[in-house]
Structure 1
Amino acid sequence: MMYRLLIGRCLSALATALIPTTLTLAVLRATGDGGALGIVLASEMVPLLLFLPVGGVLADRIRPGRLALLADLTRCLSQAAIAVELLLGVNRLLDLALLSAVAGVAIAFGSPAVPRLVVAVVPAPDRLRMNARIGVATSLSAVVAPALAGAITLAAGPGWAAALTAALFACSALTLGGVHAASRGVPPSAPGRTPAASARGLVERGAASSFGRDLVEGWREIRDRPWFLACVLGHGVWHFMAGLFLTLGPVAAVRELGGEASWMMIVQGGTVGLVLGVFAAPRLPVRRPLAMVQLGAACYLLPMVALAVTAPAPVMAAAYFVAMFGLGVLSPLWETVVADEIPEAALGRVRSFDQLISFASRPFGLAVAAPLAGLTGVTALALTGGVLVAAANLVAIVPMAHSRRRRAVRTGSGHSTS
């Protein structure tokens, strides 16, 4: 079952990474209008953000393999419909926007189910290695997919790239849908309550708990873990700064660092760092994984400073390499620690909050980068951003230390995952 899970996640990651390039080329071919492209891309993002809380609740109510199956099948159908339209030469902007919105809703329902599926299938000692393998597949997909979508589009047209995406989603749906979860969730334990007490609470209040009550219980799990909330907010700052860097960095590279080739070197340095970081994560002797997670996020200070001082392209590439290596180490460690620390029955709701912050922050950074740079200048904006991303993530280590001391008092031991 673990290999089936890994294969399904690899197929889904590749299909997901194909979509932006395919849609971009399709819309630009049809309209040549950047505004139209923005409408289509936003049509996926807006429903994704709106429905993520709903997806989190459903992920804790429905068997995760079934939810992953339905989500990927829906994305398969939306991509197949896009492929048919493009192959027939219809190219209606409204249709592409609506089908993208359907895909966004499917992502909102499917994403929170994936952590629960990993927990249900993979034994705790193997989760870090599994999360690292999934991370490597996702990172490589992000590199391979744009080139693959571009090659197919140039050779045969964007409709065939969308058809390939639909086929990959069909395969991932069938693969993940056949993954049988060994565990079943119960409602999250309130502080001081045992899982058995929580199970009795389910019987007492009935299985049909309200959506609002489920959301409140999910928020309670977050509120009772200050370290989680602090880390998620720090990661949100990271994603916002990534949006700034990925908007302002190419402009600086083209204007002052030698052109497009310089930016490609910087991006490739980051890609190599990301893959190596994910590969290294399960092999590093990490005693405090959450502290390592926050240190990895704080490394984004380096490319922001390099951008502020307009460092030479090799220096900026090295800084971006280190930052993305930190992200590579961060991702599987974070997935594993959260799965270990959050009750399985609340994992979907808790992770949907995490994903909501992450999904919203980067597009916001992309959108406001140019206006902010026009007001403050690139140097001031990048320096401020670098300080903020480091401070927001390093400060999050403080509630970890407090949590560790409280746990030591309760258990009589100093052991902690913080």
Structure 2
Amino acid sequence: MPAGTAALRHRDFRLLVTGTATSGLGNAVTPVALAFAVLDLGGSATDLGLVVAAFALAEVVTALLGGVLGDRVSRRLLMEGSAAACSLTQVVLAVALLQGWATIPFIGVVGVLNGCLAALSQPSSQAMTRLTVPPEDLASAVALRPLVQTSAAMVGYTLGGVLVTAVGAGWAIGLDALTFAVAALCYGRLRVEGGRSGTSGSMLTDLGDGWREVVRHSWLWLLISQALLYHLFYGGAQSVLGPIVVGDDFGRTAWGVALGTLMAGFVVGGLVCLWWRPRRTMMVGVPLLSLTAAFPLAMALSDRLEVVLLGAFLHGFGLQVFDVFWNLAIQENVPTDKLARVYSFDLVGSFVARPVGLALTGPVAAVAGFDTWLVVVAVIMVASALGSLLSRDVRRLERGAPAAEPEPVPG
């Protein structure tokens, strides 16, 4: 088996990737469906921003708890239970939309519940990667996992636009419920547990240990801060302004195609990372991260769909290459027993400002003008990415051996 795909030799890694990719497909359908469900109920850009912000805030609030639990209890059970519960909440939302009794506040409430349930398992899911492969196949696993997930999401975004147009948002969200159920079955068959560190300290003590691990690495907290700015400004550009700008100019199906093209950029970036592993990963990844500005810039300045799709592709490509190198750096430099907590701080630090951006994008863009605000977002994304290269620790971070031996991987 080629070195780039060596991680696929391991049963538990295949189950982990199948579960995350399947739920990822459904989760890509849902944002498209929810956006137009809110708009069809008479919602404005501000209403849509508040609904998406409620989901994002729930994720942020719950992620730290998920990180602590992921280092204390069975990561497998946490992932299985979270996926099963998310399946149930999506069934409820799908039925509400299909039966015609859904309201915008109801969609927001279900979104909050779903966000909490999903966030409980996210740190464990990320930390589980190292436990499903031996050290020599870790780089392969870190590159393959997002490649498979984003390939599924690419299909999901495009499928979302088609389903919403053909059968409506309710059936599209019903598909997401099914994918969560499949994911729960995959996680239940894993033979590795993770977590169960045996710590007797309080949750606050565990959080403090995780925080000290984050601040011990200057490249880690600095790039988490950069991600905070990215999500503060870009979250609303995609989730609030994107469906309106692209939907009005080119049609609703075009927005699904644009998000599918974004995922295609992720896929190509993932394929590149299967064989390209530079020694100084952040020195390469951070400049490529600045390509994310191409999508909002294209939406603002071009009246041609192909230019918008090119911007979406460049965004996905640059972000995927950076993300693979970022995750590899965390996997190689953070001890196994702190990995879930560090990932929870990564999630919270990156996304804590996203609900604010989502809630304010509609009102701010209405005053500034949608196109003007999209240009402002693009400028901030470039400046924040390239500005992190001023740090010597970011520029000189090198690949190395994993920080701690993973738990034994069954054959």
**1:32 corresponds to 2:32:** no
**1:167 corresponds to 2:178:** yes
Q: Distance in 1 between matches of 2:254 and 2:94?
A: 35
After superposition, residues 14-413 of structure 1 pair within 5 angstroms as: 14-26=25-37, 31-34=41-44, 40-91=51-102, 95-149=106-160, 151-152=162-163, 158-181=169-192, 186=197, 207-243=199-235, 245-246=237-238, 270-302=262-294, 317-369=309-361, 371-372=363-364, 385-401=377-393
Q: Distance in 1 between matches of 2:272 and 2:317?
A: 9
Tell me, yes or no, if the aligned pair for 2:161 and 2:256 is still in contact at 8 Å: no
Q: 1:395 to 1:87 in 2, by over 3 A?
A: closer
Tell me, yes or no, if the aligned pair for 1:139 and 1:274 is still in contact at 8 Å: yes
User: Could you tell me which amino acid in structure 2 is paired with residue 179 of structure 1?
Assistant: L
Tell me, yes or no, if the aligned pair for 1:238 and 1:300 is still in contact at 8 Å: no
Q: 1:319 to 1:351 in 2, by over 3 A?
A: same
Q: Distance in 2 between matches of 1:415 and 1:113?
A: 23
Tell me, yes or no, if the aligned pair for 1:250 and 1:263 is still in contact at 8 Å: yes
User: Could you tell me which amino acid in structure 2 is paired with residue 116 of structure 1?
Assistant: A
Q: Deviations over 1:276-323 (max 9, x none)?
A: 112211221412112222122122345566677669765565454333
Tell me, yes or no, if the aligned pair for 1:304 and 1:383 is still in contact at 8 Å: yes
TM-score under structure 1 length normalisation: 0.77
Q: 1:58 to 1:184 in 2, by over 3 A?
A: closer
What SS does the corresponding residue of 2:200 show, helix, strand or coil?
A: coil
Range 389-398 or range 324-333, more displaced: 389-398
Q: Distance in 1 between matches of 2:174 and 2:303?
A: 43
What SS does the corresponding residue of 1:337 show, helix, strand or coil?
A: helix
Q: 1:294 to 1:141 in 2, by over 3 A?
A: same
User: Could you tell me which amino acid in structure 2 is paired with residue 227 of structure 1?
Assistant: W
Q: Distance in 1 between matches of 2:84 and 2:144?
A: 24
Q: Distance in 1 between matches of 2:157 and 2:295?
A: 24
**1:9 corresponds to 2:1:** no
Q: 1:78 to 1:181 in 2, by over 3 A?
A: same
Look at both structures and tell me which one has the larger radius of gyration over its CA atoms: 1
Q: 1:86 to 1:150 in 2, by over 3 A?
A: same
Aligned residue-pair number: 387
Tell me, yes or no, if the aligned pair for 1:17 and 1:145 is still in contact at 8 Å: yes
Q: CA deviation at 1:114?
A: 0.8
Q: Percent identity?
A: 26
Q: Distance in 2 between matches of 1:157 and 1:259?
A: 19
Q: CA deviation at 1:211?
A: 1.5
Q: 1:90 to 1:143 in 2, by over 3 A?
A: same
User: Could you tell me which amino acid in structure 2 is paired with residue 59 of structure 1?
Assistant: G
Q: CA deviation at 1:404?
A: 5.2
Q: Deviations over 1:16-35 (max 9, x none)?
A: 22323344455555x33347
- Select the structure with the greater relative contact order (CA < 8 A; seq sep ≥ 6): 2
CA RMSD of aligned residues (A): 3.7
Tell me, yes or no, if the aligned pair for 1:278 and 1:331 is still in contact at 8 Å: no
What SS does the corresponding residue of 1:345 show, helix, strand or coil?
A: helix
TM-score under structure 2 length normalisation: 0.78
Q: CA deviation at 1:345?
A: 1.5
Tell me, yes or no, if the aligned pair for 1:17 and 1:142 is still in contact at 8 Å: yes
Tell me, yes or no, if the aligned pair for 1:238 and 1:297 is still in contact at 8 Å: no
Q: 1:81 to 1:383 in 2, by over 3 A?
A: closer
Return 5+ residue gaps in structure 2 as ranges: 1-11, 402-411
Q: CA deviation at 1:94?
A: 5.5
Q: Distance in 1 between matches of 2:22 and 2:224?
A: 27
Q: 1:137 to 1:361 in 2, by over 3 A?
A: farther
